[in-house]
Amino acid sequence: MTTRAEPGDDQNDPGLSVIVSERRRLINLAYRLLGSLADAEDVVQETYARWYAMSARERQAIGSPGAWLMTVAGRICLNLLGSARARRETYVGDWIPEPLPEPTEWNTGGSGGDRTDPADRVTLDESVTMAFLVVLDAMTPAERVAFVLHDVFRYPFGEVAEIVGRTPAACRQLASSARRRVRTAQTPAAGPGAGRAGIVRRFRTAWEAKDIDGLIGLLDPDAVATADGGGLAVTHPHPIVGGERIARAYAEIARVSGDRTTFLERTVNGLPGLVAYQDGGIATVFAFEIAGDRIRRIWAVRNPEKLRLWRMG
């Protein structure tokens, strides 16, 4: 990050400790808005670059550095969301948000790994489940920013309006529209985490056994399986629709991969998921949406650029 510093800036900057402590909050906001930790890190870097591009006197004149940083990060995300739609048109295959492991299991270095600051780890809650992020991705940029800022981060609409560049009333309407999208996409209660984990475990067991009937029994008849290879890994070119079709396709994947693939149960964006290890590396991260006692959606992320946080074992 390129900054313009002045002698003694750190000592004379009353907001220094505040802006350092805001880093995690900024990462959490940007990841929820963009669905990509890599992009979120870029947003935070640009936000701090703009902070340090100001003189010490200009920084000292800002009453709430934390609020200033969040406002700037929100505006950068809003601009990026607009350009992201254009980039998706050239993306190879389906785009799925970047999956996150448990904070304690992030790849923080080692051979071939990216070194990630523990302060950058995203807080995992219902607003970062894969199903929720996919719904957010279907919103317009303004809807997404207004909804996340107000409903997730509890920003009043007056402050949201300053970031989105619309009136408070318009931002209220945007958040309301986004809320309807979320309600429409919601599935019936899936039960406690242990229940979800049990279903994922049975799915893994049936998959490893190539038990098509067992897989069909765990999948909703209208289930959809989507894969993201980003043109860098082999995937099914289109979503697979229908529980039986998914079961047969996944059984064939198990047959072809044979003993080369090992599946482990891991937490993905705060919920039970699976990770496939193949040929000494992480090949795929699977996230699930479970309705009742059936799997309704499967998201398989194979794009290696989205798996940099995941470590072996």
Phi and psi torsions of 301, nearest 5°: -100, 115
**Separation between Cα atoms, residue 173 and residue 121, nearest integer Å:** 32
Q: Residue 11: its pLDDT value, please? A: 47
**DSSP bridge partners of 104:** none
Q: pLDDT digits over 113-156, tens only? A: 444 555 567 887 889 999 999 999 999 999 999 999 999 999 99
**Separation between Cα atoms, residue 200 and residue 272, nearest integer Å:** 7
CB 226 within 8 A of CB 303: no
Q: pLDDT digits over 301-311, tens only? A: 999 999 998 97
**Separation between Cα atoms, residue 265 and residue 286, nearest integer Å:** 10
Sign of CA dihedral 98, 102, 103, 105: negative
**Separation between Cα atoms, residue 97 and residue 202, nearest integer Å:** 25
CB 128 within 8 A of CB 148: no
Q: pLDDT digits over 165-217, tens only? A: 999 999 999 999 999 999 988 776 555 556 999 999 999 999 999 999 999 99
Conformational region of residue 165, where left means phi above 0, alpha means psi within -120 to 50, and beta covers everything else: left
Q: What value does the mean pLDDT take over residues 90-118?
A: 75
Assigned token pair, 177: 């529209």
Domain assignments of the chain as residue spans, ordered by start: 193-306
How many beta carbons lie within 10 A of that of residue 278, not counting itself? 13
Q: Residue 113: its pLDDT value, please? A: 45
Phi and psi torsions of 261, nearest 5°: -115, 135
Lowest average pLDDT, out of 44-53, 179-188, 289-298, goes to: 179-188
Q: What value does the mean pLDDT take over residues 97-108?
A: 85
CB 17 within 8 A of CB 63: no
Q: Residue 4: its pLDDT value, please? A: 36
Terminal-to-terminal C-alpha distance of the chain: 33
**What topology is assigned to 193-306 in CATH?**
Nuclear Transport Factor 2; Chain: A, (3.10.450)
Q: What value does the mean pLDDT take over residues 105-110?
A: 67
Assigned token pair, 80: 């990026």
Q: Residue 10: its pLDDT value, please? A: 47
